[in-house]
Homo-oligomer: A and B are copies of this chain.
């Protein structure tokens, strides 16, 4: 079992990020949201269960903090993947691929963000937070740029198109995560197919 040196006076806040990070690690290692319990997180940090309550009012608040951290990580992952891409269409594709990649590399993180209904012990970001989140705003802006550049026709509603593209990549990601044993076609081929088909449909749009 882990043991952790007690923080010095005034450095109590050091424990909080360690707790969130332990939650992230447990999700990755166990691949099971249910493994992220107060007791398991405390064990992973090397601290007793009641210590968690010095930094979070309850389990839901802890999970919410893990979600926020994951959201930031997702945004970061995508922004890195598209850095330096100029062509708006290439960028849209690269965004889609990076999104799916993140989901499949971190399936349980993806699951707590996008595949679970909010409950008492697992609160969601508010709609405002979600809309304003980096990843969504960046995606929406990328669609807008494609319209502005004339790559997508001007009649395209950027918000609807953005959500449609999101649905497509989310559909693939979540099905691959939820049904790993289904005889899927090659993942990249599937992603390319859906992205290409959707984009072509948008380009040819009335």
Contacts and interface: CB of A to CB of B under 8 A. Distances in A.
Interface of A: 32, 107, 111, 114-119, 124, 126-127, 130-131, 159-161, 163-164, 166-172, 174-175, 177-185, 189-190, 193-194, 196-202, 204-205
Nearest to A185: B160
Contact of A198 (B119, B178, B190, B198): B198
Given A124-B181, A160-B185, A197-B201, 4 more contacts: A32-B119, A116-B178, A130-B179, A171-B172
Contacts of A202: 197, 201
Given A185-B160, A201-B201, A178 B127 contact: no
A89 to B, nearest CB: 14
B114 A164 contact: no
A174 B177 contact: no
Contacts of A175: 114, 166-167, 170
21 contacts: A114-B174, A116-B178, A118-B180, A118-B181, A124-B181, A126-B181, A127-B181, A131-B182, A160-B185, A160-B189, A160-B190, A163-B184, A164-B194, A167-B194, A168-B194, A170-B171, A171-B172, A174-B174, A197-B202, A200-B200, A200-B204
Contacts of A168: 167-168, 171, 194, 198
The 9 closest A-B pairs by CB, nearest first: A171-B171, A201-B201, A167-B171, A197-B201, A200-B201, A170-B171, A167-B172, A164-B194, A204-B204
Contact of A124 (B131, B166, B167, B179): B179
A167 B198 CA distance: 12
Q: Most chain-B CB neighbours within 10 Å: which of A124, A194, A196, A201?
A: A201
A131 B204 contact: no
Contacts of A119: 32
A119 to B, nearest CB: 8
B174 A115 contact: yes
